[in-house]
């Protein structure tokens, strides 16, 4: 109950902030970034898995998620105007909780934000998880179809850790698979093969999807992934999530 009240108040007061984790392509250029939400509750940081889960349980994820999307679009517009994004930069990826995705007003929100911040839909990548397809499948699927038709990109987050079947992979207009970081930690310095990773990469390519590895923490992991045809990376080896200013500085230093 305390967390609920604090969360409610934090939404009212806009006490959250966003950080941005760069994503890099095989040439070492920035290909995009993932938005991650942070909250200092009266100066005490609360772990995102904790407050996101609490927000989901209380439906506060809907106003919070709306705020996150709006701020993401605002930052994107600002970066474009400032010239902080390199030519290689394609997408800003925003995590969307299944509850937020199911909100009947979700599509109108997206349309409003694209208009308000003069963004082509291709700039926005929505990270959804397999859990989004549990239960009322058709509705989620139709929504993805329509948004994808509009030009919005979809990445399947935490791939390989969810509960749904693989059949949705060929039915849905997805653009990208994100290999869950739990698999990446299995790559060790002895260069033993990691069949799951190799299979996910091939599955992605066979379906015409881009594949990104998250949680890349070492050069060995990056080299292994590159050798197995994974061409996009995100993780501490490149950069931790950064605030607005540090993010633009990082992009400038990469060039």
Binding site for Mn ion (CB under 5 A): 95, 127, 157
Q: Which residues bind Na ion (CB under 5 A)?
A: 157-158
Is residue 83 left, alpha or beta, with left meaning phi > 0 and alpha meaning psi from -120 to 50?
A: left
In the bound state with Na ion, the residue whose beta carbon lies nearer, of 51 and 79, is 51
**Is there binding between residue 162 and ligand G (CB under 6 A)?**
no
**Is there binding between residue 95 and ligand G (CB under 6 A)?**
yes
Cα(108)–Cα(163) distance, integer angstroms: 29
Is residue 28 left, alpha or beta, with left meaning phi > 0 and alpha meaning psi from -120 to 50?
A: left
In the bound state with Mn ion, the residue whose beta carbon lies nearer, of 95 and 221, is 95
With CB cut-offs between 5 and 8 Å by kind, which of Mn ion, Na ion, ligand G, none does residue 32 bind?
none
Range in contact with ligand G (rule: CB under 6 A) among 5-13, 104-112, 229-237, 243-251:
229-237
Q: Rule CB under 6 A: choose which of 236, 243, 249, 252 binds ligand G.
A: 236
In the bound state with Na ion, the residue whose beta carbon lies nearer, of 130 and 157, is 157
Query: Which residues, other chains included, contact 161 with Cβ-Cβ below 8 Å and sequence gap of 6+?
Result: 130, 180, 182
**Is there binding between residue 23 and ligand G (CB under 6 A)?**
no
**Is there binding between residue 119 and ligand G (CB under 6 A)?**
no
Minimum CB–partner distance for residue 193 and Na ion (Å): 22
With CB cut-offs between 5 and 8 Å by kind, which of ligand G, Na ion, Mn ion, none does residue 130 bind?
none
**Is there binding between residue 31 and ligand G (CB under 6 A)?**
yes
Q: Where are the beta strands (DSSP E) in 2-161?
A: 16-25, 30-41, 44-46, 91-95, 124-128, 153-159
Query: Which residues, other chains included, contact 244 with Cβ-Cβ below 8 Å and sequence gap of 6+?
Result: 18, 20, 75
Q: Where are the beta strands (DSSP E) in the chain?
A: 16-25, 30-41, 44-46, 91-95, 124-128, 153-159, 176-179, 210-213, 232-233
Minimum CB–partner distance for residue 217 and ligand G (Å): 4
**Is there binding between residue 37 and ligand G (CB under 6 A)?**
yes
């Amino acid at each position: 109950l305390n967390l609920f009240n604090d969360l409610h108040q934090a939404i009212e007061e806009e006490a959250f902030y966003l950080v941005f984790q760069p994503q890099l392509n095989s040439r070492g250029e920035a290909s995009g970034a993932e938005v991650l939400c942070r909250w200092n509750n009266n100066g005490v940081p609360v772990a995102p898995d904790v407050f996101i889960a609490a927000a989901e349980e209380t439906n506060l994820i809907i106003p919070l998620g709306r705020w996150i999307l709006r701020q993401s679009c605002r930052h994107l517009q600002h970066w474009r105007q400032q010239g902080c994004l390199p030519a290689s930069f394609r997408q800003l990826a925003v995590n969307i909780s299944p509850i937020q995705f199911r909100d009947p007003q979700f599509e109108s929100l997206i349309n409003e934000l694209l208009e308000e911040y003069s963004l082509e839909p291709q700039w926005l990548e929505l990270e959804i998880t397999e859990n989004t397809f549990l239960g009322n499948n058709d509705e989620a699927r139709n929504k993805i179809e329509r948004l994808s038709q509009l030009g919005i990109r979809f990445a399947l987050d935490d791939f390989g850790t969810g509960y749904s079947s693989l059949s949705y992979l060929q039915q849905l207009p997805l653009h990208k698979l994100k290999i869950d970081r739990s698999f990446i930690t299995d790559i060790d310095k002895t260069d033993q093969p990691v069949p799951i990773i190799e299979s996910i990469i091939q599955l992605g390519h066979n379906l015409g999807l881009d594949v990104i590895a998250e949680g890349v923490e070492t050069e060995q992991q990056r080299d292994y992934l590159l050798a197995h045809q994974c061409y996009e990376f995100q993780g501490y080896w490149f950069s931790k999530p950064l605030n607005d200013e540090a993010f633009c500085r990082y992009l400038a230093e990469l060039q």
